[in-house]
Amino acid sequence: MRRWLSILLALLIFAAVVIPVVSAEEKTKLVMSIHTDFNREGLDDYIALYERLHPEIEIIKEVTPFEDYLKKIQIDAVSGRVSDIYHVYSLWGVELVRSGILDRPPAEIQEDVRKNYVPVAVNGATVDGQIWGIPTEIDNYCLVYNKRLLKEGGFSEPPKTWDELVDMAKKLTKFDSKGNIRQYGFTFLAGWDSAVVHPFLAMLWSNGGEYLSPDFKKALFNSPEGVQALEAQLRLFREKGTDVNGSVWDFPNGNIAMMIMAPWDENNLKTTMEDRYADVGVAPIPVMKKPATALYTWFAGVGRASRHTKEAWDFLKWMTAQVYGPNQTTRMGDYLVQSVGAMPSRKIDLENHPKELNDQYTACFVRELKNSVAEPNVAQGAEIKTILMNEIMSAWYGKKDAKSALDSAAAQINTILARYYK
């Protein structure tokens, strides 16, 4: 027994200690942190190509699900694990900059970003007046609808105003004998903070309201315009145009007539709907007072603790800024429109991808860029949005009315803002 145990123990200690040891380093390794939805087909080809062009460089992807991504970046900093390249959601920029996680880009890159990217994306990569990375994808929201279901319900056109939408959703919702909804007129995007908050912001702005004061000292979304916007959402629940069990991810099953969706869902819809993809229609979000939609951006930056910042910026430059080929586009632009399904933010990419950006799905999102308002980069952005999400959802569930939900969210958010903006 004793000998047995000691042999097994020795083996296990050996395994525990030795197996993680990595082989001797020869190449310069660049660790690139991205989230799952950014890890699409084609990225590996670019990486392989770069490694062929620069044999001394090896690029290692670290892919984390979106839900865990901010947490992972922060815990990495806490644990001392260094990523050389980060692809981050603009809203996290303030926290990442304050935690000292990001490296300042070289002057030429800042110059290039200022000159060649659309202003909303430049703002997204800017924290406290300083540019912290190279903008990549832009996302906004449109109304995505199922043409076949609309036609079956006797509608030839998507709704233009929110009142029309509520009315149509009501008529397009079907129940079974038990009273369960079997076909949804409309379903809300839900599942993470932005999913709930962004469409609300779109309606708030469409209704002439404001999210936060420009100096970030105060939440303004609980104004009468905001309450009206949330009220408009609640009407869908009250008038049985939707319920809390509906999920936008059922859209491919053909039992959801309308939803508010972002450009990145294009590939999902294509692969899961196959020949029924022709049913997919996209229109601007129905207006309340004026056309408006919410927009957010991502940017690529370099880790401040990286030991290879120059190599990392070089790779990013090659990937995002170098215009190449007969179409005069960037590799990032190609990758975004072809594989990710998002909109690029470099002006030349927006101009030179006519085929992908004018297709059945994306065209509407590109047209709506002119009506898009960017979500501001505020400190504790994720925490603030979680609070707002919870309060909006408690109104959906009928636990609070629109005004008290938004008032409660504003009160909690104001105490957070007071800590950071004095």
Partner 1 sequence: MAGEVRPVNRYGKPMAVGSVVLAVVAATMVLPFIWLALSALKTRAELVAVPPVWAPAVPQWRNFKAAVSEVPLGRYYLNSFIVAGAISISVMITSAMAGFALSKYAFRGRDIVFQGILATMMLPSFLFTIPVYYMMRHVPFAGGNNWLGYGGMGLLRSRLSMILPFAVSAWGIFLSRQFIMGIPDSILDAARIDGASESRILWSIIVPAARPALITVGIYTFISQWNNLFWPLVVATSAPELATLTVGLKMLETSFDPNRNAHLILAGLTLGIMPVMAVFASLQKYYVRGITMSGVKE
Partner 2 sequence: MRSRTRAAWLFLLPALVFYAVFLIFPVVSSLYLSFHEWNMLTPPLQASSVGMQNYTHILRQDPVFLKALWNTLVFVAVSVPLSIALAVLMATLMSRRRFAGLWRLIFLLPTITPAIALGMVWRYLYRPNYGLINTLLNAAGIASQPWLNDPATALMSIIITAVWAGIGSNLIVVDAGMRDIPEEYYEAAAIDGAHGWQRFRHITLPLLKPTLLFVFVTGTIAAWQVFDFIVAMTAPTLGRAGGPVNSTMTLVVYMYQTAFEYLNMGRASAMAYVLFFIVIAVSLVQLRVFWRGGVENY
Write out the residues near partner 1 by the rule CB under 8 A: 1-2, 5, 8-9, 12-13, 15-17, 19-20, 36, 62, 64-68, 71-72, 75-76, 78-81, 182, 247, 249-250, 252-253, 268, 271-272
Residues near partner 2 (CB under 8 A): 67, 70-71, 74-75, 77-78, 99-100, 178-181, 190-193, 195-196, 244-245, 247, 250, 382-383, 386, 389-390, 393-394, 397, 399, 412, 415
CB of 31 to partner 1, least distance (A): 12
383-390 long-range contacts, Cβ below 8 Å, gap at least 24?
Answer: 383/416, 384/413, 384/416, 384/417, 385/91, 385/193, 385/194, 385/197, 386/193, 387/412, 387/413, 387/416, 388/193, 388/196, 388/197, 388/200, 388/221, 388/413, 389/192, 389/193, 389/195, 389/196, 389/197
Q: Which is nearer to partner 2, 363 or 382 (CB)?
A: 382
CB of 188 to partner 1, least distance (A): 15
CB of 139 to partner 1, least distance (A): 17
CB of 65 to partner 1, least distance (A): 3
Q: Which is nearer to partner 1, 100 or 325 (CB)?
A: 100
Q: Which is nearer to partner 1, 26 or 215 (CB)?
A: 26
Q: Which is nearer to partner 1, 65 or 398 (CB)?
A: 65
CB of 247 to partner 2, least distance (A): 8
CB of 94 to partner 1, least distance (A): 22
Binds 383: which of partner 1, partner 2, none (CB < 5-8 Å by kind) = partner 2
CB of 268 to partner 1, least distance (A): 6
Binds 271: which of partner 2, partner 1, none (CB < 5-8 Å by kind) = partner 1
Q: Which is nearer to partner 2, 71 or 240 (CB)?
A: 71
Binds 216: which of partner 1, partner 2, none (CB < 5-8 Å by kind) = none
Binds 390: which of partner 2, partner 1, none (CB < 5-8 Å by kind) = partner 2
